[in-house]
Amino acid sequence: MENSKLKAFIPFFYLVWSDDLLSQKEFVTLQEFIGSQRWISEKEQEFLLSKVAISVPPSRAQLAEWKSEIDTVIHHHPLLKSIFEVSMALAENNSYIKDHTADFLQLENDLGILGEEAIGNFKTRSKTFTSNYQSAPTFEIEKLTQILDGEQSTIIKKVKSIISRPKFAYETSTDTAIYREKVYDWCKILADENLGNMAYPKQYGGGENIADYFAIMETLSYHDLSLVIKFGVQFGLWGMSIQSLGTEKHYSKYLKDIGSLHLPGCFAMTETNHGSNVKGLETTATYNHNDQTFTIHTPHEKAQKEYIGNAAVHGQMATVFAKLIIDEIDYGVNAFIVPIRDTNSKILKGIKIGDCGLKMGLNGVDNGTIRFENVVIPKENMLDRFASVNEEGKFESPIPSDNRRFFTMLGTLVGGRIGIPRSALAAAKSGLTIAIQYSDKRRQFGPEGGSEVPILNYRIHQRRLIPLLAKTYAIHFALQYVTNRYIAKTESEMPEIEALAAGMKAYSTWSTTDVLQECREVCGGKGYLSENRIDALKNDTEIYTTFEGDNTVLMQLVAKNRLSEFRKAFGEMDAMGIINYVFENAKTAISEKNPIVTRKTEETHLLDDEFHLSAFQYREKTILASAAKRLKKLIDGGLEPYDAFNVVQHQMIDVAEAYLERIVLEQFQKAMEAIEDKKSKEIMTNLCQLYALSQMEKNKGWYLEDGYMEAAKTKAIRKMVNQLCWEIRPDAVSLVKAFDIPDSCLAAPIALD
Amino acid sequence: MENSKLKAFIPFFYLVWSDDLLSQKEFVTLQEFIGSQRWISEKEQEFLLSKVAISVPPSRAQLAEWKSEIDTVIHHHPLLKSIFEVSMALAENNSYIKDHTADFLQLENDLGILGEEAIGNFKTRSKTFTSNYQSAPTFEIEKLTQILDGEQSTIIKKVKSIISRPKFAYETSTDTAIYREKVYDWCKILADENLGNMAYPKQYGGGENIADYFAIMETLSYHDLSLVIKFGVQFGLWGMSIQSLGTEKHYSKYLKDIGSLHLPGCFAMTETNHGSNVKGLETTATYNHNDQTFTIHTPHEKAQKEYIGNAAVHGQMATVFAKLIIDEIDYGVNAFIVPIRDTNSKILKGIKIGDCGLKMGLNGVDNGTIRFENVVIPKENMLDRFASVNEEGKFESPIPSDNRRFFTMLGTLVGGRIGIPRSALAAAKSGLTIAIQYSDKRRQFGPEGGSEVPILNYRIHQRRLIPLLAKTYAIHFALQYVTNRYIAKTESEMPEIEALAAGMKAYSTWSTTDVLQECREVCGGKGYLSENRIDALKNDTEIYTTFEGDNTVLMQLVAKNRLSEFRKAFGEMDAMGIINYVFENAKTAISEKNPIVTRKTEETHLLDDEFHLSAFQYREKTILASAAKRLKKLIDGGLEPYDAFNVVQHQMIDVAEAYLERIVLEQFQKAMEAIEDKKSKEIMTNLCQLYALSQMEKNKGWYLEDGYMEAAKTKAIRKMVNQLCWEIRPDAVSLVKAFDIPDSCLAAPIALD
């Protein structure tokens, strides 16, 4: 191509032949362009057209030559910005080309080439800011770990040292029988270390330390989750059912052996036909006054106990929930100790055990079914803290209502709804540690000519992981709060604490499901290999959203508690009353809903923790008041209450969620304020802001619908979430290292390589 | 309680002692109320207070007596609406009580009792509309099945009959070796039935029917998904790589044996260090002109081939992607046939095979790693459709750009991106069939005194499943469309079809992940048992979002294609140009964005398919134009294009998603219009409306931010989604039955009981 004006076409030739986004249509565009230019002679046109004939491609060498010419020009004129400018330079500012600037720019457009972007492909730019970004911690990891562990630091260290022993190497056999035995052996070691009886009274060999017990549950969850559940079934469900529902005679007889795992047992509540609606359990316990016994019986197949941990292999006894029948009168569901195996593991007469078989996860736990065929137990086996049969064979109870009594019994078992979300939290921490450490090292794609970039530098990747990291930290502090409230509970706080625990169980376990889903996906194929443990974490925790109460059902309980509290506070309030309630006082109402605030987008405002908490509180109160009004309207309008509750069921979930989000933010802010170490406080502040803003982003539809925010503000929030993700990214690896999960527990090669 | 005025207190006594939402605080409230009422004598007060002393509960019999008195009054006065009205009736309209109406109403409020709701608990109402609702199909299932199966009806029936044979009973062993052999045996049966070679040319023994091939992939997916993937690896990836990248000499030599499964093989592209960025593969194929061979070599451990299906056990050959090196010049990635085992399954010299070990799912597929230690293959083993080495040992290709050539090669393999989303679709159909059939039978909770209610009658349950059912139907038709476009493709349509397939692969597989997550959760504990198959469906499809292209990466490809199309159409458009583009013409702009439309909430408008499509198109175009403008602004502002793309990466995902949603809706509407059977058309219309509205609900934040809708409208949409779910519910079971999945494939006891 000696003719210098024709050189202007070189970039276009090169692009149509090399750009993989261009198709045959673009050849036609270019051919037509060449044909339409009157300043090119017929012969020149022919020559140019020969370069864009689809059937006669240029040689690879020709393509290389074009590229080399373009490279040279760009090298000498580094400020060139568009393809047309490159053309001009190649054509040595030929005046014909200059005169047809508009035509060439149009051609660029018609081909869909964005100048700078196309030129970028010719330049070697290893120095983009995306590729230069990397881990650079701003705080001391150990200090943050100490803040997280707090007063439980000693027990946490002890548990970590135990589960790091060689004996705790993960079981890799897919044989369920082998796995179950391994888990049982691990449990025995933990019992020998006095971890199982940590919550029991000292007089029965226990540690009488509930805070430590929950810390043990959480820390064990860095290891195998079947172990945690088996541990929880034995020492939590089985042991605590004795402690919470029984009396002195039961404690002295059983607690020590349960705590030492000499008496493995079950918690037999759920039946095939009654899982969530346990009030409807059908197993019967019929009192026989002549020989002072109860007969435990399963009336039909679907009334069998199901999913019972420890039932299929190891359990020797079970706390069985059954309807108490005395003289043909039904006194509601009560609890009874029923032996199911002898000490040689032989199943006792009248007991039929089934095996739940393979499950999605937790296959180290021997879940089974239990049926009772007129099994007779002595009278003292009734757990009689809340109800008993007296000497005359009459029913006695300090709680006259069968319904209220049963829910009081369930209320004493609420500890399980703290253990499970804390276990879920630990699983989320493990998943995030694996995914973030891998993403910091895994490189894929990069700028033209530069090396590949850690995938954690990509915005999407940050958006997938870093807000969830913030949420996991947030939940950590919220669960500390729930634990503390539970430990310090008074009778009158019980309904609130029960709702709080039920709600946080749902919030934490759903969050873990989300976290592990993202972790699996962002780790790609590596995330699918069992050796990297997201498999086990994900499948084991999958049932966390169901057991200890189906999350959706629990959220409705939480919402009902909120509604009841709301009504107590406000009753049949009028419109002004509700406005006052929502805004605390009318002045706030005016200031928060005025256009200056709904549109406010400066950084200091968006990052202000008072703004965050107000927005969460406003949402919580508004949703609650609106659900209450709607329910009342429906019922006043003639709907059966049962139907009305069904109509607003999805709003009930919102009521509960908004309440829980406020609690979580509030506790995160409080925990943050208490931090003394300056640098730890700074990074926690960033995480807290990210939690607040990413939840607001998630709820932006609601805020816009309500008018609490305008579009400018929700858009600014989205931008700020991006910015915070980017700012936190250099600390991301340190933030997961602060969880301080033993390497032997993480185990994933992609996290440790 | 002889004194009739005091009887007014009975309902309150009963409630504080029996309602499980009331706490100790309420006793105090009631005590204070009693103490403050001047019209009660001191003695009467004492009597009343004795009934609410926490330490002296009433007997169970006393509680029953109170309840009986309340029941009697309600029975005689069925119109009583509040607790106070009951009190009045019990007190026989005593004037003292009447005079203190306000006090009593205040007490009700202070206790948080909602009159109607509390009264509901005394009434036996088995006739609520929630509990009376049930399955009641409005259409003929067989007709809808025929509409879904269309022209592939015959092959679909054939495949269903094969996978229903006793030999296809699911493998239940957890031993991977046994499972892999079972899957391999199943594959042989399918090959014998001429299903594997369905897409190959007739002259090589094939069926030359691509449409049938995809229908086979989808239908097989009702059975074991390891089987589908093994089938896809052998006949799709391995066979199609020969057919797409090779030439006549390869076809005649290999295709028949591949189609009959006499030659099991692999598709060896992915390497440990290069999964998404396959352009960066590091395996080398060095040409040796002296003996006309290539030497295939793995330069370092992380350049090994990884996750390769058929590699660990059965594969005898592999299509290996490697950088072609001739005279030390790198000609980019090309494909070569490399033998890895002899016919006795002995691994050949220089080949090192690893086993990927246990995976989250698909454990019936023998994924492995392959390393090559200077493995020499003859020259004819180069798949030379797009590039070859000539007689003189020089490189030749009709596509001069290495980059474009490689992406052209990848483009020919796009069929995999149709097979996988169709397999994902089938898995979603299986999950929904299991979950919906179970939810129609599973009963839990119910109105006081009535029997328990099918859980599918609950709003939340409907909201969790029915929009996903609609989406699954929508995706069915969209994938039919993608398949048809692929089969009828022309060269110039390829970039569009590649983007479409990549996008629908991501859309369908993500949807399946969501669907199966909901299915697992709504089935509770039963959903966790492996026997109910959600386990396998969920874990097997989990990797679908990664393989055949990571979804996030694919979505960016789609977005880049859309941006390129956008630029071709509009180039450097000005503001008015973009408005015209978004609204087609300015008149629409005015009519769609005027307050009457943004607030329009009547039912006919909300259900109007033109409104739906306009809203989807508007969103698609606005997001695309805005991303293009933003990118241009960033680059014009001096950002490196690579950085600019990273900054807008999350918007790119939105661009792709909005495009895909529009395609899916458009194709659903078109398919719906073509339906002749009136009743099938009606139910499909409902589903299509639900798909449209539930997507709009999901995107309401965007619509509100943009101003395309106002709050009144998004709220009306939410209501309409509820209404449609409710209306579709009686057809839900029939809608999943229309998928016509063989019972032996469903297998789940909870679906079939």
- Residues A103-148 pLDDT 10s: 888 888 888 776 666 776 676 665 688 888 899 999 999 999 999 9
Q: B13: closest CA among B56, B77, B74, B42?
A: B56
Q: Are strands A305-308 and A368-372 parallel, antiparallel or unpaired?
A: antiparallel
The pLDDT score that the predictor gives to residue A117 is: 67
Where is B417: in which H helix or E strand? helix B416-441
Contact yes or no for A401 and B18 at CB 8 A: yes
**Is B546's CB within 8 Å of A538's CB?**
no
Task: Give pLDDT tens digits for A290-302.
Answer: 999 999 999 999 9
Query: Touching check for A485 and chain B: CB below 8 Å?
Result: no
Contact A331 B531 (CB under 8 A): no
Cβ atoms < 10 Å from Cβ of A342: 10
**CATH dotted code for A417-752:** 1.20.140.10
pLDDT at residue number B256: 97
What would the mean pLDDT of A326-336 be, rounded to a whole number? 96
If you write DSSP's letter for every residue of A465-500 in order, what string do you get? HHHHHHHHHHHHHHHHHHHHHHHT--GGGHHHHHHH
Residues of A in contact with B357 (CB under 8 A): 529-531
Residue with the larger pLDDT of the pair A96 and B143: B143
Which residues of A fall within a CB distance of 8 Å from B120?
640-642
Please give the residue that has the higher pLDDT: either A337 or B128: A337
Strands A293-297 and A305-308: unpaired
Q: What is the pLDDT of residue B580?
A: 67
Question: Is residue A585 pLDDT above 60, yes or no?
Answer: no
List chain A residues with CB under 8 Å of B276. 444-445, 524
Domain with CATH 2.40.110.10 in chain B: 165-413
**Given this model, what pLDDT does residue B23 score?**
73
Q: Give the single-character DSSP code of A454.
A: B
Residue for token digits 């009168």?
A329
Q: Which of A129, A174, A552 sits opposite B460 (nearest CB)?
A: A552
pLDDT of residue A19 exceeding 80, the answer is no
Read off the tokens for A132.
Answer: 């230069």
Q: How far apart are CA A414 and CA A215, in angstroms?
A: 16
Confirm or reject contact between A707 and chain B (CB < 8 A).
yes
CA dist A43 to A39, A48, A100, Å? 12, 9, 19
pLDDT tens string A356-370: 999 999 999 999 999
**A195 — contact with chain B (CB < 8 Å)?**
no
Contact indicator for B724, B497 with CB cutoff of 8 Å = no
Q: Which two tokens stand for residue B657?
A: 């998603």
Cβ distance B277 to A59 less than 8 Å, yes or no, reads: no
Contact (Cβ atoms closer than 8 angstroms) between residue B531 and residue A357: yes
Angle at the Cα of B306 (from B305 to B307), degrees rounded to 5? 140
Contacts of B459 in chain A (CB under 8 A): 646-650
A694 touches chain B (CB under 8 A): no
Residue among A517, A554, A367 at smallest CA distance from B516: A517
Q: Which of B120, B524, B707 sits opposite A550 (nearest CB)?
A: B524
Q: What is the pLDDT of residue A141?
A: 98
pLDDT band, residue A574 (cuts 50/70/90): low
Under 8 Å CB pairs connecting chains A and B tally to 358
Helix (H) or strand (E) holding B334: strand B329-339
Query: Are B216 and B228 within 8 A, CB to CB?
Result: no
Nearest CA in chain B to A395: B60
- Please tell me which of the candidates B62, B492, B560 has its beta carbon nearest to residue A24: B492
Q: Report the chain B residue with the minimal C-alpha distance to residue A556.
A: B460
For CATH 1.20.140.10, list the domain ranges present in chain B: 417-752
Q: Is the pLDDT of residue A670 over 90?
A: yes
Partner residue opposite B647 with nearest CB, options A331, A399, A459: A459
Q: Residue A81's closest chain B neighbor by CA?
A: B636
| Residue in chain B lying closest to A123 (CA) | B640
The closest CB to that of A110, out of B63, B543, B568, belongs to B568
For A229-256, b where at least 16 C-beta lie within 10 A, e where not — what string? Answer: bbbbbbbbbbbbbbbbbbeeebbebbbb
Is B546 part of the contact surface with chain A (CB cutoff 8 Å)? yes
Tell me the residues of chain B between 379 and 418 that have a Cβ less than 8 Å away from chain A: 395, 397-404, 407-408
A2 band by pLDDT with thresholds 50, 70 and 90:
low
- Of A174, A443, A492, nearest to B175 by CB-CB distance is A174
Q: Which residues, in sequence order, are CB contacts of A658 under 8 Å at separation 6+? A: A616, A619, A620, A623, A624
The answer to whether A331 touches A290, Cβ cutoff 8 Å, is no
The nearest alpha carbon in chain A to B408 belongs to: A20
Which residues lie below 8 Å from residue B201, measured CB to CB, with a gap of 6+? B208, B243, B251, B255
Angle of helix A24-36 relative to helix A10-18, nearest 10 degrees, comes to 160
The count of other CB atoms within 10 Å of the CB of residue B379 is: 17
What is the structure's pLDDT at B590?
61
Binding-face residues of B in 313-352 toward A, CB within 8 A:
331
Tokens of A164: 């790091």
| Least confident residue range of A389-398, A495-504, B92-101, B414-423 | B92-101
Q: Kindly determine whether residue B113 and residue A62, on different chains, have CB atoms separated by under 8 Å.
A: no
Does A60 lie at the interface with B, CB-CB under 8 angstroms?
yes
Helix axes A141-149, A711-737, angle to 10 degrees: 100
Q: Does B643 touch chain A (CB under 8 A)?
A: yes
d(CA A274, CA A66): 75
By DSSP bridging, strand A395-396 and strand A329-339 are unpaired
The residue-averaged pLDDT of A287-292 equals: 97
Residues 6+ apart with CB under 8 A from A154: none
**Helical H segments across B51-140, by residue range:** 60-76, 83-90, 95-99, 101-111, 115-120, 129-132
pLDDT over 80 (residue A351): yes
Contact yes or no for A691/A472 (Cβ under 8 A) = no
**Taking CB atoms and an 8 Å limit, are B19 and A404 in contact across chains?**
yes
List the structure tokens of A677. 């170490």
**A residues 719-738 near B, CB within 8 Å?**
722
Residue B618 · residue B592 · CB < 8 Å: yes
Give A-chain residues touching B110 at CB under 8 angstroms.
Answer: 568, 571
- For chain A, how are helix, strand and coil distributed in percent, rounded to 5? 65, 10, 30
The stretch A518-528 carries a mean pLDDT of: 98
pLDDT in tens, B629-645: 898 888 888 888 889 99
SS3 B752: helix
State the pairing for strand pair A317-326/A305-308.
Answer: unpaired
What pLDDT is attached to residue B600? 86
**B 83-142 residues inside an 8 A Cβ radius of A:** 105-106, 108-114, 116-117, 120-121, 125, 128-131
d(CA A33, CA A605): 54
Task: Give per-10-residue mean pLDDT for chain B (753 aa).
Answer: 82 86 80 90 92 88 90 85 87 89 85 70 70 91 98 98 98 96 98 97 96 98 98 98 97 98 98 94 98 98 98 98 97 97 96 98 98 98 97 94 91 93 98 98 88 95 98 98 96 92 98 98 98 98 97 96 84 60 62 76 94 96 92 85 92 98 98 97 98 98 95 96 98 98 97 86
**What is the distance, to the nearest Å, from the Cα of residue A397 to the centroid of all Cα atoms in its chain?**
42
Domain A165-413 sits in CATH at: 2.40.110.10
- In B, minimum Cα distance to A409 occurs at B20
Name which of A63, A112, A460 is nearest B653 (Cβ-Cβ): A460
> How close, in Å, is residue B392 to chain A by CA atoms?
16
Q: Is A706 on the interface with B (CB under 8 A)?
A: yes
Q: From chain B, pick out residues whose CB is under 8 angstroms from the CB of A568.
A: 25-26, 109-112
Kindly tell me the burial class for residue B687, based on how many C-beta atoms sit within 10 Å of its own C-beta (0-12, 13-18, 19 or more): buried
**Tell me, what's the ipTM?**
0.94
Share of chain A above pLDDT 90, in %: 77
